[in-house]
Amino acid sequence: MTAAQYTFHIAGFTPETLPMARLADYLSDLAQLLGSKEHVHLDRIEAGSIRLAVAIDQEVRPLVGPRVRSAAQGDGPKEAQAAWLRLNERLGKDGARANLELPGGEIIPFPGSAAPSKPVGPLRQETAIQGRLVRLEGYGDDVSVGIEDEAGLAGRIVVRADLARDLGNYFHRHVRLSGRGRWRRNTEGQWCLEHLDVTDFTPLDDKPLDDVLRHAGSLLPEGSAQKAIDLIQELRRA
């Protein structure tokens, strides 16, 4: 029975310029991506640029194509997804890109660098964020809120008008906002807060950390306070 052929073409290298150890890395990841290892064989390395011709036994051909397509879309078996990411990371480090030609002429590109993740969401869950209150604006029942944290301005935040009146007493101070959040994961694998309906807030202490530590130390038994403060400050310097 004739085997099906998959060809992995790495642009930017030739058999003379790609180190053997690196070639072995690519072959190992490619085997993990294709799966069915006992039915997948390296047929040849074609002259010119790196073209790895892989023979797939016909009995597993219906399994290999869907496995590769799913991995390229951030889905399917975990080990195939991991192999897809490793191949792209290796290509990115080598300044190269590749494609995999399936039987029938279908081409699956490998862009190099970390392949984009599959977007996820939106997901809704109870959420709490904190930062400096820098904006309160809007009319009617809902007021838009701006919170500045270490990452910059958070996503769209809405609070009821009656709660906004109380929140306004803490303008340019640090607060914690709690409510129902809507989250989405982007193609870079980062979770972003798209929207937060605030149901409650808590003012936070703006005192410098050293002052807070000294106050906390005054509540500890005599002799242990300074040790605790020294330990925390040492951890901060580490």
Give the pLDDT of residue 210.
60
Q: Tell whether omega for the bond before 119 is within 30 degrees of 0, i.e. cis.
A: no
Pairwise CA distance, residues 14 & 108, whole Å: 21
Token pair, residue 114, equals: 């970390």
Query: Rounded mean pLDDT of 63-67?
Result: 88
Give the pLDDT of residue 106.
83
The larger pLDDT score, comparing residue 3 to residue 89, is at: 89
Give the pLDDT of residue 170.
93
pLDDT at 123 over 90: no
pLDDT band, residue 74 (cuts 50/70/90): confident
Nearest CA to 101 out of 14, 20, 34, 2 is that of 34
For the segment(s) 120-203, the CATH number from 2.40.50.140, 2.30.30.100, 3.40.50.300, 2.160.10.10 is 2.40.50.140
Specify the CATH number of the domain 4-110.
Answer: 3.30.70
Burial (CB count <10 Å: 0-12, 13-18, 19+), residue 208: exposed
Give the amino acid at 147: I
pLDDT at 238 over 60: no
Nearest CA to 133 out of 181, 179, 180, 170 is that of 170
pLDDT band, residue 180 (cuts 50/70/90): very high
Query: Alpha carbon of 15 to those of 21, 22, 45, 123, 131: distances in Å?
Result: 12, 11, 8, 47, 55
Q: So where are the chain's domains?
A: 4-110, 120-203, 208-238
Nearest CA to 67 out of 44, 27, 40, 94 is that of 40
Average pLDDT across the chain, whole number? 81
With residue 75 as reference, give the H or E element that holds it: none
